[in-house]
Structures are given as structure tokens and as C-alpha cells.
């Protein structure tokens, strides 16, 4: 059975959602990203609509540069909760056409639709049905590429944006790739592309026809072997429905460098609030917390801590982040900070952890690249409420007077964690219904 892989990519997703909620922005340049502050702002463009792209604005561009290109554009901050809401609806539509879905981000995914010809017709019919469902149910547009080869499907989806549909028939992949510029290859970054062009190689077809020995570096190494295989339309990879997310994070570039410890602490807690919401919505489970901070002058550092139990509540995330921040604050010597970020990584499973499993009784040391030492603290030391502090201080050892044991501590921690989860999910439901009017206090 021939493979039929589909890559679906929403068109200017964040900007398109903003245009739905604000129709008055539909016919003007719209940029989703940091506040440009009349050209003095910091941070980058998350995305922009196609009108703004005509002025040369692109994703990841410094927002100050975007403002200089189009001062009359409308600049709005990202609203991740709204984008996640649409993403869930879009992924549900995709699931009607295949159970094998590999999300790459909120707004794009691979689908393995092999063997569905009787259900949905030929490739063009399949693509049109999905596009129609997305437009009817979300009022958004999606561009789709279809091929028997995974990376060819991804390239195809980008060629006729917005609202495009490109089908690459089996056996025509090399001809399809040949005239495309080398920048289209996965893994061909600016440095690689410069090396290729300096060698007189400008298209994917040029790479496919060259002898390996005539490529930069004589074509040696896994990187060049990978590029040569792709140029020849050789990509055996399939759709990975359970592709595990490696990390999830939030960061903010401040409009003005922050110096005061309390202002930075409050900024960190707000980032924890935003990140914990995404954790609850995505089901991500990670055990390593990393703080990223950038001083005035762009000197950037990270500090990490790995704990035994996955961080799944805002309570736990805030406590761990504050522990790291206190260490940073003591050593920054009064230097101002331009950017602050918090990330959760070291995912083991997206399933709910068993709070009473012996797996979590003794924390494991885990190497962490963000700091010079490994933290062996149990998750409970940062996530517990004040009423269980005394029992934790006893270290979980048997007390002859009150019969306290370590299993009692784990049971109490489990109750506290379940309480926090219930509270946070309830707050999410209220906020999603009434427009983010309920917020947890920042302390």
C-alpha cells in the first residue's frame, strides 16, 4: 500500500485568530508580538498577517525592525489561551481523517492518511475536504501538502500559501524538488546554504546531481549524507502519532530592563501562571525546571533543577522557580535583566503520574546542562503546603510519639497535589467562560 502523508499548516495562525476577534484589523497590517514602543521596543514578531508581510515583516524579526518597516501596523500581544482553544478544535478536525497525527506545533501537523482512498477519494479530494471542514468550523484557512514522502509533503504545504493545496504524485518527487532553492531542505541553515552557494550549488536538484566528493567537505558526515538523501527524495520516516514534546516554556523580553528584585519576582510568577496553563492544556509532564535570564548587554544564562515527580501544578512550578530565582538574585550583583524565561523539560510520559508509586520515594540524580550541579531534591519539598511543613522537616522518619511515617507524608502530599490540580482546572474553566477575569494572587 502506497503511503499518503499529509502536512497541514494553518495560515498566519495567530494573526488570523486575532482578525476573527477583531474584524477591523482584517484589512490592515497586523503584527502579533512584543510592543514596538514606537521603534524602541524589544522582543520579536511571533507572526503577522499577509498584508504586513508585503512590507517585509517576518516571524522572529526584532519588533523594532518591524515597526521601522511599517509604523502604521497594528501591534498586538499574543494570547496563547485563545490560540490553544482554536488549536484543539483544528486537531479534532484532523482526527476525523486519520488516527495517526503528529502535531508539530499549535497550528501544524502531519497526518498519515494511507489506505483512506475509499473513504475520502483521491489526494486532491482529501485535501479539499479537510480545508472545507477547517474553514466552515473555524473560519480559518489551512494550506496542505500531500506526498508519499514526509518532508516533501511539508515543503508542498508552503508553496502556495495562503489557502494552498499541493499534491505531489508518487514517482514525481525528484522532479518536484529539483528547481527549489537549497533553503527549502530540512537542516540547511544559513551557514550550510552559503557553503553550497559558494560551491555553485543553488537548487535541490544541483545537490542531487553532484557527486558527494564535490560537495563542501567532500560530502562527509551525517549532516551532508542527510541533505543528499533528502535531495534525492529519500525519506523513509513515517508519521509519529506519539511524538513526545521535549520541552515547554514561556519567556518575556521586558520593555525596560528590570532591576528591582520584587519586580523580577512578580514577572517570574506571571510567567509561571502562563506556563502552567499550557501544561494543563497540553498534558505535558516534565521534571526539569529551567530559568533563563539575559542581562543588559545580551549576556544570557540558565539555571536548572530536576526533581523526582513531574511538575503538573502552578503551585509546584512557582515554588521551584522561586527557589532558582533566589539563587540567581543573590549572585547577579545588582545587574539589570532584559529577558526572563521559565521552561519545563525532561519529559518522561504524558500520562498522569501515580502519586503513591514507590518510583517517587527516592529522587534520582539527573544530569542537567543548565547548571553546574545536579539537584536531588524531592518534588514535595517545593510543592507542599504550609500545614505539612512540620512533617517534612522530620524527613519522613518514624516518630514513636505520633506514629508518623514516610508513607503518611506521601499520602498527604498526594492530597495537596490533587487539591491544587482541582483548583487550577476549575479556575481555567471559569476564565475560559468569562474571559480571564479570575486570577490567582501573586505572592
Per-residue pLDDT tens digits for 50-109: 999 999 999 989 999 999 999 999 999 999 889 999 999 999 999 999 999 999 989 999
Which DSSP state fits 245?
A: P
Among candidates 319, 320, 259, which has minimal Cα distance to 293? 259
State the residue for C-alpha cell 514516610.
Answer: 406
Helix (H) or strand (E) holding 111: strand 108-112
Helix (H) or strand (E) holding 416: helix 406-434
375: pLDDT confidence band, cut at 50, 70 and 90?
Answer: very low
108: annotated active-site residue = yes
pLDDT at position 441? 53
**Complete DSSP assignment for 261-314:** HHHHHHHHHHHHHHHHHHHHHHT--EEEEEEEEEETTS-EEEEEEE-SS---SH
Among candidates 396, 394, 393, 390, which has minimal Cα distance to 409? 396
Q: What is the mean pLDDT of the chain?
A: 82
Instruction: Write the CA distances from 103 to 95, 182, 253, 310, integer angstroms.
Output: 11, 25, 27, 22
440: pLDDT confidence band, cut at 50, 70 and 90?
Answer: low
Pairing assessment for the beta strands 286-295 and 300-306 based on DSSP bridges:
antiparallel
Taking the CA atoms of the chain, what radius of gyration do you get in angstroms? Answer: 25
Cα dihedral 8, 10, 11, 16 in deg (nearest 10) = 170
Of 19, 102, 108, 173, the active-site residue reads: 108
Per-residue pLDDT tens digits for 316-366: 899 999 999 999 999 998 899 999 999 998 865 444 333 333 233 333 333
Per-residue pLDDT tens digits for 389-422: 334 443 444 444 445 454 555 555 556 666 666 6
Q: Would the pLDDT of 12 be above 70?
A: yes
pLDDT at position 411? 57
Which cell is 366 given? Answer: 539527573
Which cell is 314 given? Answer: 502552578
Output the pTM of the full model: 0.63
Amino acid at each position: 500500500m502506497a503511503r499518503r502523508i499529509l502536512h497541514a499548516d494553518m495560515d498566519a495562525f495567530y494573526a488570523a485568530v486575532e482578525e476573527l476577534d477583531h474584524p477591523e484589523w482584517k484589512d490592515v497590517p497586523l503584527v502579533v508580538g512584543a510592543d514596538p514602543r514606537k521603534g524602541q521596543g524589544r522582543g520579536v514578531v511571533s507572526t503577522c498577517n499577509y498584508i504586513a508581510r508585503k512590507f517585509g515583516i517576518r516571524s522572529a524579526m526584532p519588533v523594532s525592525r518591524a515597526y521601522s518597516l511599517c509604523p502604521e501596523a497594528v501591534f498586538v500581544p499574543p494570547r496563547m489561551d485563545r490560540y490553544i482553544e482554536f488549536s484543539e478544535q483544528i486537531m479534532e478536525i484532523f482526527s476525523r481523517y486519520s488516527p495517526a497525527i503528529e502535531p508539530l506545533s499549535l497550528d501544524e501537523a502531519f497526518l498519515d492518511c494511507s489506505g483512506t482512498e475509499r473513504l475520502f477519494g483521491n489526494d486532491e479530494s482529501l485535501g479539499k475536504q479537510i480545508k472545507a471542514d477547517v474553514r466552515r468550523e473555524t473560519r480559518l484557512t489551512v494550506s496542505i501538502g500531500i506526498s508519499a514522502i514526509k518532508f516533501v509533503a511539508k515543503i508542498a504545504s508552503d508553496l502556495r500559501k495562503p489557502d494552498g493545496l499541493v499534491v505531489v504524485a508518487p514517482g514525481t518527487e525528484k522532479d518536484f524538488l529539483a528547481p527549489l532553492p537549497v533553503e527549502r531542505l530540512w537542516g540547511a541553515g544559513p551557514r550550510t546554504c552559503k557553503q553550497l552557494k559558494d560551491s555553485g550549488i543553488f537548487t535541490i536538484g544541483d545537490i542531487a546531481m553532484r557527486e558527494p566528493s564535490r560537495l563542501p567537505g567532500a560530502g562527509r558526515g551525517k549532516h551532508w549524507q542527510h541533505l543528499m538523501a533528502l535531495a534525492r527524495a529519500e525519506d523513509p520516516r513515517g508519521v509519529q502519532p506519539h511524538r513526545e514534546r521535549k520541552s515547554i516554556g514561556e519567556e518575556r523580553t521586558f520593555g525596560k530592563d528590570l532591576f528591582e528584585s520584587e519586580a523580577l519576582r512578580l514577572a517570574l510568577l506571571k510567567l509561571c501562571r502562563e506556563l502552567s496553563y499550557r501544561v494543563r492544556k497540553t498534558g505535558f509532564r516534565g521534571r526539569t525546571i529551567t530559568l533563563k535570564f539575559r542581562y543588559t548587554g545580551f549576556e544570557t544564562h540558565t539555571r536548572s533543577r530536576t526533581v523526582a515527580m513531574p511538575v503538573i501544578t502552578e503551585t509546584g512550578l512557582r515554588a521551584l522557580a522561586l527557589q532558582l530565582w533566589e539563587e540567581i538574585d543573590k549572585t547577579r550583583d545588582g545587574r539589570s535583566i532584559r529577558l526572563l524565561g521559565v521552561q519545563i523539560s525532561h519529559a518522561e510520559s504524558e500520562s498522569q503520574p501515580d502519586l503513591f508509586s514507590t518510583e517517587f520515594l527516592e529522587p534520582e540524580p539527573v544530569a542537567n546542562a543548565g547548571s553546574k550541579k545536579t539537584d536531588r531534591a524531592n518534588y514535595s519539598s517545593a510543592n507542599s503546603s504550609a500545614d505539612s511543613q512540620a512533617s517534612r522537616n522530620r524527613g519522613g522518619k518514624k516518630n514513636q510519639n505520633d506514629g508518623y511515617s514516610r508513607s503518611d507524608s506521601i499520602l498527604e502530599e498526594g492530597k495537596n497535589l490533587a487539591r491544587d490540580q482541582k483548583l487550577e482546572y476549575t479556575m481555567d474553566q471559569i476564565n475560559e467562560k468569562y474571559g480571564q477575569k479570575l486570577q490567582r494572587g501573586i505572592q
